Structure formats: structure tokens, C-alpha cells
């Protein structure tokens, strides 16, 4: 594998729950295993749960409550990265909803400057930065600001995580078409088996059909992991993917 120069990717999905966090963590672990300085970022998360942490630069070091989403917790455990949580995930909201709705219920305003400040700092710290989105490209972060707007401003190539099941051709082609309409760059898509089940014709034929119709490469296929512990996430499948980068 040729040595990559400093680069970043934005991991999005055709929907929520398709496995963006698993793919982000797996790619990070694979590049870490190759000796790269890798960072991960989840700019905005919802469904956060309270946890106790110690205030940085505090003399008293008194623990206080913050919100931590399961996705961010998984990323940190999978990679062992030591970046502060407020850099990895600058905005976390309690309700497991689209960010604009979660913010309204919490009576909070989403401060995009927090995202940009954390993003710039992580880019300085790491050779490779993997930015995981929330849901799909049309998820509203604010009423008039979507995930696609964030990707556009970051100017990062997309890695699209898709399901293998029936219906994924439609969902994936819609995502690709919208991304292109917004002028977003697409690196390729990854098929992630997020649940057990028999592999039928739909699962076997969908990746090649998407490649042929959309002209976007399938970067790899990730099988279903029955016992998914973040610090034991296998890297062999992800190493095959990054070998073509």
C-alpha cells in the first residue's frame, strides 16, 4: 500500500443504523495498524447519555456530567484515541432524533463554530481524519442546514455505507444522485451487513448493479459480527479496503 499523504474522508450512510460507526471505527483501526496517525470525529450526535468526567484545566478536578453518545463511546473504545471528547464530538444532544428536533426539545441552539473549531484542531493533529456523519445526507442539523451542507463546507470525499438488503439499490442511487447534485465528491461505497440472515440474490447482485448504474466503486463488504466489541473489531476486512486507497 502506497503511503497516503495527509487526507480525510466523510463517512455517510443511506440511512440511520446502517453501520457508519462500525465502518468508521474499522477503517481507523486498519490505518492505525498500518502506522498512520489517525483521528476520528463525530461532529454532532444525538441520543447522548450522561457520564461523569473531569473538567480539563480545572484545579479542583471536580467531576461533572456531560452527554456521551453510544456511537462516540464505540469510536473511542475501538481506536483508543486520546483526543478530548469535545474535539471528537463537539455537539451532543439528549434526544435520539434529528439534530434540529433534538436541539428544540433541549431548548438549545446548535453552534456550528464548535464543529469548525474542533475540525481544524483535529486536522492539525492527525494525518488521516475520518468524520462520521449523522444519518444520511439530508438529515437536518438546523432547519436550513443539512449534513450535505457540512460535507460541502468540509470539502471531503464521501464514503457511503449501505445495507445489503432489498431496497438498497434505490436508497444508494438516491444518495449518490443527491451528492452529485450538490457537487460532493464520492470515493465509493461499502456494504455493511448490520444483521444476521441468509444472503440471497438481492444481497449478491446489488453491489455490482450499483457500480454499473452509478459508476461508483464498491470499496468492500463487511460481514455481520455476532459479538461486536469495539476493541476487538476485526481489521482484516478493512485492511483490504484501505489497500486500494
Residues designated as active site: 42
The three-class DSSP label of residue 42 is coil
User: What is d(CA 38, CA 18) in angstroms, rounded to the nearest whole number?
Assistant: 23
Q: Which of 52, 139, 45 is nearest to 92 (CA)?
A: 45
C-alpha cell at 171: 436508497
Q: What angle, 0 to 180 degrees and rounded to 10, lies between the N-to-C axes of helices 201-214 and 168-181? A: 20
Handedness of CA 118, 119, 120, 124 (dihedral sign): positive
User: Which H or E run contains 21?
Assistant: helix 20-33
Cα-Cα-Cα-Cα torsion 214, 218, 221, 222, nearest 10 degrees, comes to: -90
Q: Across-strand partners of 67?
A: 50
Amino acid at each position: 500500500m502506497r503511503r497516503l499523504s495527509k487526507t480525510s474522508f466523510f463517512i455517510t450512510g443511506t440511512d440511520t443504523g446502517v453501520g457508519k460507526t462500525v465502518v468508521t471505527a474499522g477503517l481507523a483501526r486498519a490505518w492505525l495498524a498500518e502506522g498512520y496517525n489517525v483521528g476520528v470525529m463525530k461532529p454532532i450526535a444525538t441520543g447522548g447519555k450522561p457520564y461523569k468526567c473531569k473538567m480539563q484545566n480545572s484545579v479542583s478536578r471536580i467531576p461533572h456530567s456531560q452527554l456521551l453518545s453510544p456511537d462516540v463511546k464505540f469510536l473511542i473504545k475501538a481506536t483508543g484515541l486520546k483526543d478530548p471528547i469535545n474535539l471528537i464530538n463537539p455537539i451532543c444532544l439528549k434526544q435520539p432524533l434529528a439534530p434540529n428536533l433534538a436541539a428544540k426539545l433541549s431548548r438549545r441552539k446548535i453552534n456550528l463554530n464548535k464543529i469548525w473549531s474542533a475540525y481544524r484542531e483535529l486536522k492539525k493533529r492527525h494525518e488521516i481524519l475520518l468524520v462520521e456523519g449523522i444519518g444520511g445526507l439530508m438529515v437536518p442539523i438546523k432547519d436550513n442546514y443539512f449534513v450535505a451542507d457540512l460535507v460541502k463546507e468540509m470539502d471531503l470525499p464521501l464514503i457511503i455505507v449501505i445495507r445489503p438488503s432489498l431496497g438498497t439499490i434505490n436508497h444508494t442511487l438516491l444518495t449518490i444522485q443527491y451528492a452529485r447534485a450538490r457537487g460532493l465528491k464520492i470515493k465509493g461505497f461499502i456494504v455493511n451487513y448490520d444483521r444476521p440472515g441468509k444472503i440471497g440474490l438481492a444481497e449478491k447482485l446489488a453491489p455490482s448493479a450499483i457500480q454499473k448504474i452509478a459508476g461508483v466503486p464498491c470499496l468492500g463488504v463487511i460481514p455481520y459480527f455476532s459479538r461486536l466489541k469495539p476493541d476487538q473489531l476485526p481489521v482484516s476486512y478493512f485492511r483490504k479496503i484501505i489497500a486500494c486507497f
